[in-house]
Chains A and B, each alone.
Chain A
């Protein structure tokens, strides 16, 4: 089976230290004011000295490298695609021109337009680090090992083992558009319905819907040329001559 890189996160282990957020920013040179990952929480920030009414739950997250990536559907050039080998959703920086179509198409708000590169940006599971045998920065840095990364289709991997063992109680964030996210939570991650709807920009919808018309017009024109060509080739030149001299 092909790989499916994913994160299996034990939300109850997260202590909201934001180490993953900082490590990601450093590893990936993410511009000021922008983030590739986050920790969400379901209660207000606790005030010192005040006993919280309920236990605050933390939910580490990032791009969920979905099975059904709506962001990929919003991209006209294939600059963002789901990699067949690893199952990761990748952005090809060299091909992306930063048109922004994919950004509202992500119901989890995992994408942003990198203010320096002016291209789409999001978590890519740190391919440079993986190439050197290292884990993604956020996973490597996590002091409580809440984030576990790996190929969930490989039963030998840590992620695959956790995925299998907890299959019945795994939780995914439920967006209004079901993208089948590959971000699985063990333990209570708190809020599960914060995600929105995948919005494909009107310009992209217009392009998709006009494509059959354009093909139709080109086809008609091609048929016209074929009709003219067959007259030229098969109708006796006498008749053509007649019309020429008219």
Chain B
């Protein structure tokens, strides 16, 4: 039997993923340049000054960051209008966690990927569904983090446009939450990019973010519970 291809991502899913990734990278690069305080500055000093000089001042950098941020939010609104069903499916796959399958999977997988199979008595991984637990953790962080980042971003954007002096507490806490949200998602993002783009075993998953489909043997091996479901549906 030829290796049958299974549909994994819709065109709108592929669009929103790469659109989001591009926005994230630009927002990170510009956002880090907006923090200039010796106790916080994520890279140590020099970067914010250099970036600000490049774009003609901190005010311009802020405008660029705000513009990309608003575009990012609009992109998601657009996606939700086009493929609300897809978003609902995504959330329903990402948030439910099975304690007996997913939790051991995560710990075993982390040990396997970093130290190797020898540390585990039984290196077999429990079967996973549409997303494995690692993907779920990152997806949950991106969804919750993304909402926090977007909401606090809008509050900060409104601060000097329509909010009064009584709102400064909310604005200042928004700055803190924005920072924390980005920091945590970014920590996950390092692993995400490694797994998706660099690790060889996930190569078919990487290709699926362009073509939308994965080969059957990959689906069977990596997302067995999902494969069992679609295998019967597709027949």
- State the A residues within 8 Å of B (CB): 73, 75-79, 92-101, 103, 113, 115, 117-119, 201, 203-204, 206-208, 210-211, 214-215, 217-218, 220-222, 224-225, 227-229, 231-232, 235, 239, 242-244, 246
- Interface residues, chain B, CB within 8 Å of chain A? 34-37, 39-40, 42, 48, 57-63, 110, 112-117, 123-125, 156-157, 159-165, 168-169, 171-173, 175-176, 179-180, 183-184, 186-188, 190-191, 194, 198-201, 221
Q: Which residues of A contact B37 (CB under 8 A)?
A: 73, 75-78, 208
Contact, CB under 8 Å: A224 / B191: yes
Give the distance in Å from the alpha carbon of A246 to the alpha carbon of B117 in the complex.
Answer: 10
A/B pair count, beta carbons within 8 Å: 152
Contact flag A94-B40 (CB < 8 Å), given A201-B169, A228-B199: no
CA of A75 to CA of B117, assembled, Å: 49
A208 partner residues in chain B, CB cutoff 8 A: 37, 39-40
Measured between beta carbons, the chain B residues less than 8 angstroms from A118 are 159-164
* Further 9 A-B residue pairs, CB within 8 A, beyond A97-B157, A206-B176, A211-B179: A76-B40, A77-B62, A94-B59, A118-B162, A208-B40, A211-B39, A214-B179, A227-B114, A243-B112
- How distant is the Cα of A37 from the Cα of B138 in the complex, in angstroms? 52
Check B175 against A99 for contact (C-beta < 8 Å): yes
B159 and A214 form a contact (CB under 8 A): no
Task: Please tell me if the beta carbons of A95 and B190 are within 8 angstroms of each other in the complex.
Answer: no
Nearest A-chain residue to B38, judged by Cβ: A73
Instruction: Return the chain B residue nearest A96 by Cβ.
Output: B160
Which of A210, A217, A227, A246 is the one whose CB lies under 8 Å from B125? A246
CB-CB under 8 A from B110, the residues of chain A are 224
In the complex, the answer to whether B176 meets A210 with C-beta atoms within 8 Å is yes
Say whether B176 contacts A231, CB under 8 Å: no
The answer on a CB contact under 8 Å between A214 and B59 is: no
Closest CB-CB distance, A224 to chain B, in whole Å? 6
From B58, B156, B187, give the contact of A221 (CB < 8 A): B187
**Nearest chain B residue, comparing its CB with the CB of A218:** B187
What residues of chain A lie closer than 8 Å to B62, measured between beta carbons? 77, 94-95, 97
Q: Which of B115, B165, B183 contacts A113 (CB 8 A)?
A: B165
Q: In the complex, A76 Cα to B171 Cα: how many Å?
A: 12
